[in-house]
Amino acid sequence: MLKVINNIFKGLFYRGDTLSHTKFWSNIGYAVFTWAIITKVINNNVSDDLFLIYISVTALHTTASNLLSKYNFKGKQDDSA
């Protein structure tokens, strides 16, 4: 059971063997945003607009993250130095 939890934790926050701050903070943001929406739903205080914003932000972030991860942004190596 602990091995399963450890694998989930590593999948959420690590890239290889190193902690990925990008993955860490985006997953924390998802969790907080999701908790806020669930709290609003439980209190019957959620509007259609807020729910649409929630879906749009999470879908857009995931799509953009996946697209950007396919490119290498290290730039060209400068041989003139």
pLDDT range class, residue 73, cuts 50, 70, 90: low
CB 55, CB 46: distance < 8 Å: no
Q: Is the pTM of this model over 0.75?
A: no
Decide if 78 is inside a domain: no
Could you list the residue range(s) of the whole structural domain that residue 37 is in?
Answer: 19-69
Decide if 23 is inside a domain: yes
Decide if 47 is inside a domain: yes
Decide if 24 is inside a domain: yes
Share of the chain above pLDDT 90, in %: 1
User: Total domain count for the chain?
Assistant: 1
Decide if 58 is inside a domain: yes
Decide if 26 is inside a domain: yes
Decide if 45 is inside a domain: yes
Reported as half-sphere exposure (CB side, CA atoms, 13 A), residue 12 has a value of: 14
Q: Identify the residue whose tokens are 């509007």.
A: 47
